Amino acid sequence: MTVLEGKGVNKAFGGRKAVDNVDFDVQAHEILGLIGPNGAGKTTLFNLISGAIRPDSGVITYKGTRISGRKPYAICHMGLGRTFQTAKNFPDLTVYQNVRMGATFGKKGVSEADAERITNEVLAFVGLQDAAEKSMKDITLALQKRVEVARALATGPDLLMLDELMAGLNPTEVGEAMALVSRIRDRGVTIVMIEHVMRAIMNMCDRILVLHHGQKIAEGTPAEIAANPTVIEIYLGE
Amino acid sequence: MKLLRAYREKPVRAVPAAAVVLILILLGLLPGMTPPYTTIMVGSVLMYIILSLCWNMFSGATGYISLATAAFFGLGVYASAFLGGTLPLPALMLVGGAAASVLAFLIGLITLRLRGVYFTIFTLGIVKLLEQLILYLEIHFNNTRGRFVVSHSYTEVFYALYVLLILLLAAILIIRRSRFGKALICIAEGEDAAQHIGINATMVKVLAFTISAFAMGAAGAAMATRWSYIDPYIAFNANYSFLPVLMVIFGGSRYLPGPIIGAAIFAYLQELLTTRFPYIYMLAMGLIMIAAILFMPRGILGLIYDGVRKIHKRKEAKADDGS
Amino acid sequence: MLVKLFNILSSGLIMGGVYAIIAMGMSIQYGVARILNVSHGEFIMVGAFLTFMLVKLHVNPLLAMVIISPAMFLVGFVLHRTVYKKLSDVSGSASTFESNSMLISFGLMFVLQNIGLQVWGSQQQAYPFLLTSVRILGTAIALNRMVVLLFAVAISLLFYLYLQKTRLGKAIRAVSQDAGSAALMGIKTHRVGAISFGIGAVLAGCAGSLISIINQFNTSMGMSYTIIAIIVVVLGGMGSVLGSLLGGFILGFIGTLVNYIDPSLSLVAYYLIIIVLLLVKPSGLMGGKS
């Protein structure tokens, strides 16, 4: 079943086309990888989906409802969560408070008791219960990114977009992050991830979409992408 | 634009609730116990405390530096000028506050998408536009520059401001614990992230701006009845925009008592010095503002709290050594 | 009719020339140093009064302008090297610096204005200079106004050529376009920022001298010139020198026209322009990106 779909999505900054006539679809419960060289338009595509910016043209639908043109908070309420390339945590709040904010505002009409229950559940799920009272400045980058994932999870998404969750992490931490992503999928959450760590992409994704200069140049299973001559040329040509 | 963050860390409990209540009770008894001059002066101090708290409620929390304070205050002043005598003082304050809120709501809706400095310029422009527009209208249609306001006694005005301040403090405390208050904290911490966890940031900002403008307008309506004569330059004096900013920065924008302390100190100094050394006083204000931004980004309260924390730590260290 | 039209045109041209200099000063300070200097009008006021002091010592005001320029530069340069340098050290991000530097400028506005009030008092001042008039196309124009226009245009041109031709000018433009890349190319962005701030102060001082020749002036006038500078800069696009030049003349003409229709409306018109402008196109009429 298609949960997220884009048709002819365009976005230009100045004269440069950041996202150029891209079609895409995301199936329920899959992990879709989004790859491409720096400046290929991956984060711009995330921003278009999450409502941070509006497409110049094209339509994006989520669970059959048009979301392009809506505000980020409304899209979040519909069950679409995201993280940012450089973690955008609330720096002066504790780990617990960060996640609690996600639980409080992620859906309409969440009671304080519900928010507390959700927060504790999510903290335990991502393994942050022991760090709950720590301040954001006192924890490692890997944990900061984990807090951001937890905050997004606390908003109760059916689809979660992860922007370079593994960038800047050491090999052990990458392994932990991969395990976390798998467990999130096992909860029934569909995942779209931008990633440069090929080990993660190739091992975890059901399908991969390749962007280059804002255009979609390939789409398929990891095996298909690995064998695709155009993709190889772009990555080797760099 | 995230320089002035309010409410973000739990301050050391330096002022126990009992002391606050005691101060408020003593303030309430003041007009009966002291000479008129003191009541008038403390009334002015109350006005600045209200303006500073309101300014901090929006600008401190969101990081958007508003200079529209004088516009909201001035609208309140003109509400009293137009309706004074026909309505009792509390009603005048309601009308003044409502007028200010409507203006704030409109400004908020159309401008909170502007980038930081543009927003600031816009709000200052609104103050000057209202000042000049009303001046023009008064001269052309009424052949006068100013108006006389049906006056109320300084004691009445004092109590009006006193009650307004208590209501404002109560409102701030309630907001801090509410969903709306938490949304404000998130916006101060990071607006992008706030939006993406389901907060309608624009609406929250517009609401905070609107609420804060209400008390500013109400304060203007009350003060006008003490002055008895007003004109656009008095009502929309840009100092009502600038001074609260200074007071909040000096006091410490992220603590609830910060704006109160800053406003109390400077409003008192102003009453003391402004008639004798007006230029020196304003010059010093400018210097202090610059120094405060450079050397105490969390205000005087930030310095004090840091000091208290250090002493606590030292005591703990000593206690550890002893055991 | 034709005479009136010519009067409006010539007044607009003269005011426009002065506005252009004012706006270029603010524009370079914001564009390069990222400081929205709301005390710009106070620098203009200081320039006017320093000129006035020299004139009282029988110095030609145009010569006075040349004499005070190095002093203005030094004040601007040192201010940037001390206060704004310290500020950029304590500000975490560029946007924090931008809002804090604006607040510092507000503090500076209080300081300069009240120094002015303390030293020079609050009364209106003016002095006579080149009061004879010349006839152009049948209308009389005061010679001093002609001279002011001439100097305004000359200063603008000089400034523009300086930015285009000299090494430092090119560095200034580079920083204004992309400070990060400029730093990577080996440009000392802080130093360039300080120099730009100094140049902005010089332009304010020159504008003050020119204004003192043709207009009355007082120590409280700063804010109104700051507002004019902001209007022009927003008109022409923040950080664009040519935009400031064009915007200056546009506002000069609008101002003269409104003044001709109803003098008491001119301030209302100015504030209305800035409000509408910010709402409609905050990036400026000639600005591309927002």
Q: Closest to B197 (Cβ–Cβ): which among A51, A93, A102?
A: A102
E strands present in B171-235: 229-230
Please answer whether residues C271 and C258 qualify as being in contact, where contact means their C-beta atoms are separated by less than 8 angstroms.
no
pLDDT, tens digit, 9 for 90 and up, residues C124-148: 888 877 777 777 666 677 787 888 8
Whether residue A31 is predicted with pLDDT greater than 80 in this model: the reply is yes
d(CA B144, CA C226) in angstroms, rounded, equals 28
3-state secondary structure of A7: strand
Q: Could you give the CA distance from residue B37 to residue B55 in angstroms, rounded to a whole number?
A: 27
Interface of B with A in 88-147 (CB under 8 A): none
Mean pLDDT of C78-101: 85
Closest-CA residue of chain C to B279: C114
Give the distance from residue C232's alpha carbon to the nearest chain B alpha carbon, in angstroms: 13
In chain B, which residues have their Cβ closer than 8 Å to the Cβ of A101? Answer: 182, 185-186, 197
Distance, in angstroms, between A88 CA and closest chain B CA?
6
Nearest residue on chain C to B117, alpha-carbon basis: C99
User: What is the CA angle B41-B45-B49, rounded to 5?
Assistant: 170
Can you name the residues that pair with A82 across neighbouring β-strands? Answer: A161
Judged against a pLDDT cut of 50, whether residue A56 lies above it is answered with yes
Q: Between C266 and B46, name the one with better pLDDT.
A: B46
Alpha carbon distance C236, B21 (integer Å): 55
For residue B108, pLDDT over 50 is answered with yes
Question: Are B175 and B58 contacting, i.e. CB atoms less than 8 angstroms apart?
Answer: no
Give the minimum alpha-carbon distance from A63 to chain B in angstroms, rounded to a whole number.
Answer: 18
User: Which member of B2, B118, B246 has the closest CB to residue C278?
Assistant: B118
**Domain boundaries for CATH 3.40.50.300 within chain A:** 2-79+157-237
Cα separation, B145 vs B132, whole angstroms: 11
Residue carrying the six token digits 């309601």: B94
Asked if residue C62 has pLDDT above 50, the reply is yes
Give pLDDT tens digits for C110-129.
Answer: 999 999 998 998 888 888 77
Establish how many alpha carbons lie within 13 A of residue A28's alpha carbon, considering only the half-sphere containing its beta carbon.
Answer: 9
- Supply the pLDDT for residue B287: 92
Say whether B128 and C227 touch across the interface (CB within 8 A).
yes
To the nearest whole Å, the CA of B291 is away from the closest chain A CA by 25
The whole-number pLDDT of residue B103 equals 95
Residue B7 confidence (pLDDT): 39
pLDDT at res. C200: 93
Q: Tell whether the model's pLDDT for residue B48 goes beyond 90.
A: yes
pLDDT at C13: 85
pLDDT at residue B6 greater than cutoff 60: no
Say which range, A1-10, A178-187, B16-25, C225-234, has the weakest mean pLDDT. B16-25
Q: For the sheet with A190-194, list strands across it.
A: A80-82, A159-163, A190-194, A31-35, A207-212, A215-220
Decide if B117 and C102 are in contact by the 8 Å CB cutoff.
Answer: yes
Are B197 and A77 inside 8 Å of each other by CB?
Answer: no
To the nearest whole Å, the CA of B189 is away from the closest chain A CA by: 5
| Chain B nearest-CA residue for C117 | B279
CA C217 vs CA B185, C61, C221: distances in Å: 47, 14, 7
pLDDT band at A108 (very low <50, low <70, confident <90, very high): confident
Structural tokens at position A71: 């505000």
Distance (Å, whole) CA C290 – CA C286: 11
In the prediction, which pLDDT does C168 show?
A: 80
- Hey, is A167 helix, strand or coil? coil
Predicted local distance difference test score (pLDDT) of residue B38: 85
Specify the 3-state DSSP secondary structure of A159: strand
Q: Are strands A159-163 and A190-194 parallel, antiparallel or unpaired?
A: parallel
To the nearest whole percent, how much of chain C has pLDDT over 70?
A: 94
C289 confidence band (pLDDT: 50, 70, 90) = very low
| DSSP per-residue letters across B225-284 | HHHSEE-HHHHT-THHHHHHHHHHHHH-TTSTHHHHHHHHHHHHHHHHHTTTSHHHHHHH
Cross-chain Cβ contact B179/A71 below 8 Å: no
The verdict on B8 touching A (C-beta cutoff 8 Å) is yes
Alpha carbon dihedral A91, C33, C44, B114, in 10-degree steps, equals: -50
Lowest mean pLDDT among A151-155, A177-181, A185-189, C161-165: C161-165
Q: How far apart are CA B195 and CA C165, in angstroms?
A: 47
* C 30-89 near B (Cβ less than 8 A): 36, 83, 86-87
**A76 touching chain B per CB within 8 A:** yes
Whether the CB of B190 is below 8 Å from some CB of chain A: the reply is yes
* Structural fold of domain A2-79+157-237: Rossmann fold (3.40.50)
The pLDDT score that the predictor gives to residue B159 is 92
Q: Do B245 and C103 touch (CB under 8 A)?
A: yes
Amino acid at B200: N
